[in-house]
Amino acid sequence: MMGFESGSPLSDQEPRLTSLAHGGGCGCKIAPAVLSEMLAKVPPARPFVDLLVGNESSDDAAVWRLNDTQALVATTDFFMPVVDDPFDFGRIAATNALSDVYAMGARPILALALVGMPINVLSPETIGRILKGGANVCADADIPIAGGHSIDSVEPIYGLVALGLVDPNKLMTNRGAQAGDVLVLTKPLGVGVLSAALKQGRLDAAGYATLIASTTQLNVVGPSAADIEGVHAMTDVTGFGLAGHALEMARGSGVQIELFDQPPMLEGVKALLDQGVRTGASGRNWDSYGSLVEGLGAGTLRDLLTDPQTSGGLLIAVAEDRLPTLNFTLGGFGLKAAAVVGRVRAGAPGVSVGPA
């Protein structure tokens, strides 16, 4: 497969963005098992009556009740370049950061930029293109970037602090899935595979277009999905892969989740998997939680279900009789590739994989 240059530095003397980072996108996330070990050493905070969601359930954002009809949703997300084009990098990072707000059923109200750049390596023009990409996404979401913070760092880092508002009665978490629900994923899988192929010079122009289209599609459907009676839980699928985020939902909800063995894939991903393209994060993910996933042996399916999804889709648990209403809503937002990827059963928290 011919390699594809995903945009070039603005100066001939500048290196490719991805060459400056040891990892990229949500593949940079600390492995789940290591993260759990680190957090276990943090003393628990004293209880706050208005803290509706903290870090006790691995949810997407913190939520603080302001009054009976409003709660503040607060989150942050940042990472190193997953592509070389600075404008696209900014767009992807901003889209990914806002996703956590949408996953709580909230609407974003403003963002703050988090910027770490090797200022002696990258030109102000290149860094400015990264910031412009993020600002364009925030404009699409109809919110301002109202400030931020920047540092001189060895590797390029960009992301956002994102704030949103939600009615506490319509708040979505990963803790509400119920036995009998079906699981819907709003975007196909394979972003990590495509980004790995890009870094290896094995991604063609069509593959790059697929990568950008998926990672820059805002999960703006979140609040509308939360309005549907029978939608019980929601999270976004990012660095831990579909299996990892399904496991978080299973644990948070106290249920057994069965994932189907034919999940939707982005165009071109299967061919790359067949050629042996993988991310290092996929293996780290499996090492962290594989013992809690039944029915998933080594092979392409495991690599896909553990593939880190930068700016991935929403995973929604919905009562089966409300699935047509949810599908109608998703279609109205252009999410034609949304698919049922599993079901929720009563049982000890965990994940299994089997046929639909």
Sign of the Cα torsion 230, 235, 236, 238 reads negative
- 3-state secondary structure at position 306: coil
Cα three-residue angle 306-31-107, rounded to 5 degrees: 80
CA–CA dist 88, 74 (Å, integer): 24
Q: Alpha helix locations (H) across the chain?
A: 32-40, 86-103, 124-140, 191-199, 205-215, 222-226, 241-253, 269-274, 280-289, 300-305, 323-332
CA–CA dist 341, 339 (Å, integer): 6
DSSP 84: S
Structure tokens at 268: 């071109």
Q: Is 352 left (phi over 0), alpha (psi -120 to 50) or beta?
A: beta
- Angstrom distances, CA of residue 192 to CA of 82, 296, 297, 308: 9, 19, 20, 5
What is the radius of gyration, based on Cα positions, of the chain? 19
Nearest to residue 159, comparing CAs of 259, 239, 224, 242? 239
Pairing mode of beta strands 256-260, 350-354: parallel
Active-site positions read 26
Cα three-residue angle 124-129-133, rounded to 5 degrees: 150
Q: Work out the burial of residue 336: count CB atoms within 10 Å of its CB; fewer than 13 is exposed, 13-18 middle, 19 or more buried.
A: exposed
